[in-house]
């Protein structure tokens, strides 16, 4: 997944087996992060219409930003490829679209209101800005 891991594949057998374990564990971590992104969206959607007293407070919409940012950061510990970093956010967005569409009984978990817009902006735009900054960061010179 990373160039350091790819460089180890042509080395001695002990280093190759370590590189293989790193690749497998990296793939498992990415799969777990995708699953966590979907579970996080489910919890965020369930608690989005939270009322404190008589006032609607979209707390989970605000919490979606650091949670999704942490998912992208955790994926960045395994790889630097942007397509792989995007996988947890892609799963979150797919689950968001499913929650925004009507189900078999005609129920729509996400309403068309300010809380849903805030959930989308915090949950999608903040990690995408982080990925944009990572993609445009100057690379250190190799010696």
Whether residue 110 contacts residue 45, with contact meaning beta carbons closer than 8 Å, is answered with yes
pLDDT by residue for the chain (143 residues), tens only, comes to 555 555 555 567 667 777 777 788 889 999 999 999 999 999 999 998 888 888 888 899 999 999 999 999 999 999 888 999 999 999 999 999 999 998 788 888 888 889 999 999 999 999 999 999 999 988 877 76
3-state secondary structure of 55: strand
Q: Cα(35)–Cα(138) distance, rounded to whole angstroms?
A: 31
Q: Cα(23)–Cα(7) distance, rounded to whole angstroms?
A: 12
* pLDDT computed for residue 123 by the predictor: 94
């Amino acid at each position: 997944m990373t160039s350091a891991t790819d460089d180890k594949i042509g080395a001695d057998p002990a280093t190759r087996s370590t590189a293989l374990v790193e690749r497998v564990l990296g793939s498992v971590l990415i799969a777990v992060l995708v699953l966590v992104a979907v579970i996080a969206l489910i919890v965020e959607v369930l608690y989005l219409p939270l009322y404190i007293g008589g006032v609607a407070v979209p707390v989970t919409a605000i919490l979606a930003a650091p949670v999704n940012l942490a998912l992208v950061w955790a994926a960045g510990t395994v790889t630097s490829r942007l397509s792989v970093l995007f996988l947890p956010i892609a799963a979150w967005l797919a689950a968001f679209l499913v929650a925004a569409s009507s189900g078999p009984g005609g129920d729509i978990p996400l309403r068309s209101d300010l809380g849903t817009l805030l959930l989308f902006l915090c949950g999608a735009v903040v990690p995408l800005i982080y990925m944009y900054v990572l993609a445009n960061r100057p690379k250190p010179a190799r010696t």
